[in-house]
Amino acid sequence: MSLPGNDISAGTMGRMNSRPARLGAFLLASALVLSACGLGDDKDDSKKEKTSESAAPTAEGTPAVGDNGFTTWGADLEFGETARVPWSPKQKLKGAVEITLKRVEQAPMKSFEGFKLTAEQKKGTAYYVRAKVENVGNADLSGFTLPVYLDDGSDVIYPPVNIPSSFKPCDNRELPKKFIPGKKAQVCMVFLSAPGTQMKAIALQPAEGIDQIEWTGAVSELGKAKQGKNKKKAKKSN
């Protein structure tokens, strides 16, 4: 079984944590297309995802998982905590990243009124997942999408939505250009759950055959975190 890509009607991938892996019967489109512009898939991004199918989950020359601060596969983390893992986004490109999942926000479906959504997608729940990333390995990871998925508690996990244009509420899905060793970045990924389901955890799984690392916590109301910061600033000024 292969990892899901970022094309339209991409398949889902079975959980690797405590249950046998299997493909899900429900197909979740992982690319939204602006109805006004008629934009299509990002073909270059799709190629990157295809090359990652046979990539090894460990980095050559990097200490084994669990040594020197690397997070153990299968670990349960809370929102705000950091996972440090080796990552090979494609063959012969072996690196490592430190990912801090900052928060998860439930997004109103009206935010996607300008996009073509199927009837099934409209019955799902949308989430913005915001994370801080640092390149702690020796590879240039520019332009790749983190191996992060939405876990709804079923036997499948869902890839982030691929929006091939700027989406102001949740932009920068991919790692930026010149994301070389030592660089840091902020990313935001859009996820859509299957109809009638909600997020149970955010899963990190760079390759098949390993236990996923999970983040869990309270889902924030959209804009609540920003409002809290503004209140703190107001108190300081008083």
Structural domain contains residue 2: no
**pTM score above 0.75:** no
In single-letter form, the type of residue at position 15 comes to: R
**CATH at 178:** 2.60.40.1240
Structural domain contains residue 1: no
Residue from 86, 166, 76, 170 nearest 130 by CA? 170
Does pLDDT of 160 surpass 50?
yes
Structural domain contains residue 222: yes
Structural domain contains residue 110: yes
How does pLDDT run across 7-52, given as a tens digit for each residue?
A: 222 223 233 333 333 223 233 444 555 433 333 344 344 333 333 3
Structural domain contains residue 71: yes
pLDDT for the residue numbered 208: 82
Structural domain contains residue 6: no
Q: Quick check: 180 and 25 in contact, CB under 8 A? A: no
Show the domain range for 137: 13-237
Number of domains in the chain: 1
Structural domain contains residue 3: no
Query: For residue 1, with 0-12 CB atoms within 10 Å meaning exposed, 13-18 middle and 19 or more buried, which class applies?
Result: exposed
Structural domain contains residue 59: yes
